Amino acid sequence: MAMSKENTKKTICLQGTGVTRCFGIGKKKMTAVDHVDFTFHEGEVVSIVGESGSGKTTLSKMVLGLLGKTSGEIYFRGEPLVLKSHSQKKEYWKHIQAIFQDPFSSYNIFTKVDEVLLDCIKMRGGDKQPYEEKKKMMKEACSFVNLEFDELTNKYPFELSGGQMQRLMIARVFLLRPQILIADEPTSMIDACSRSTILDMLLKLRDEIHMTIIFITHDIGLAYYISDTVYIMEHGKFVEFGDAESVLIEPKAAYTKRLINDVPKIHEKWDLSTVDVQ
Ligand SMILES: Nc1ncnc2c1ncn2[C@@H]1O[C@H](COP(=O)(O)OP(=O)(O)OP(=O)(O)O)[C@@H](O)[C@H]1O
Ligand SMILES: [Mg+2]
């Protein structure tokens, strides 16, 4: 990732100041996201790392315009984000897309796979082309994620495996070519081997279309592997952020140090001196 660092940190695509979201009222009131500030650049891979319940999904939903803010401001390409009407949202979603934790929730179960993909072509204004052209685009998107278009075309999303469904989500991103992609634990249903393939696909897509990826995870080791920049989230606040190497190699916040210590140290030699060999 170091390779692209020089030319990726220039143009800001998304910014937030004091972004806050509370839930509940009275004694039950809680602050899920608490005055966070962030700056994401074009083509940058950013990870937001934190334990369960730290507010990562709540923040990503606000950024996507799926959940209102209690206070604060989000700027998209320097302009305050205004998403009051459906058409404003539709326009914004041409530029920002998401891959969610649970791929089953992302599709309408009555929409067949080819319709899912055709919708993406339509969203980008390619509806008028002949079907053969569209089919070529769909095939290309499927082969990008190692899916066989002809096998899937007549299936419904619930007929796919979890892994196939997540790859279909990446095929959608391939067709939609958004400027920003939010990936919320996209590899949760995939075995370790396919997981690295999917991550490589996302990074390849980043290089191809210069997309910003906001990656949401519990896994600080993974964040180090894939990101340019890391934001560490604890109880709704960013306790630390910076380029992945500085944060991981010289963590300042106690919470970051704890997350790093929780990563299994596979690189350390096993200490067998205390093992009782009979
Ligand atoms: N719609 C809601 N109503 C009430 N509380 C909510 C709602 N959504 C989230 N919360 C609360 O806000 C906090 C942050 O939740 P969030 O889903 O953002 O965490 P997360 O960091 O994504 O966790 P995980 O890693 O488990 O996905 C949690 O305490 C959660 O219970
Ligand atoms: Mg979450």
CA of 198 to the centre of ligand 1 (A): 26
CA-based nearest residue to 183, from 91, 88, 103: 103
> Side by side, which strands form the sheet with 71-76?
30-41, 12-23, 71-76, 79-80
pLDDT tens by residue, 55-84: 999 999 999 999 999 999 999 999 999 999
To test the ligand 1 pocket, which listed residue (31, 54, 235) has its Cβ within 8 A of the most ligand atoms? 54
Query: Is the Cβ–Cβ distance between 175 and 141 less than 8 Å?
Result: yes
- Band (pLDDT 50/70/90 cuts) for residue 264 is low
CA of 263 to the centre of ligand 1 (A): 23
| Apex 155 CA angle, 187 and 115, nearest 5 | 85
Q: How many CB atoms lie within 10 A of CB 193?
A: 8
- Band (pLDDT 50/70/90 cuts) for residue 2 is very low
Strands, E assignment, the chain: 12-23, 30-41, 45-49, 71-76, 79-80, 96-99, 180-184, 212-217, 229-234, 237-243
Structure tokens, 80: 């305050």
| 101 CA: nearest ligand 1 atom | 27
Q: Whose CA is nearest to atom 7 of ligand 1?
A: 23
d(CA 221, CA 211): 22
| 58 CA: nearest ligand 1 atom | 18
Torsion of CA 48, 226, 162, 68, to 10 degrees: 20
pLDDT tens by residue, 173-201: 999 999 999 988 755 555 666 667 778 88
Q: Is 115 a residue whose pLDDT tops 60? A: yes
- Domains of the chain by range and CATH? 43-66+86-262 (3.40.50.300)
Q: Whose CA is nearest to atom 2 of ligand 1?
A: 23
Q: Whose CA is nearest to atom 22 of ligand 1?
A: 57
pLDDT for the residue numbered 265: 59
Read off the pLDDT of each residue in 107-125 and give the average, rounded to a whole number: 86
Q: How many CB atoms lie within 10 A of CB 19?
A: 22
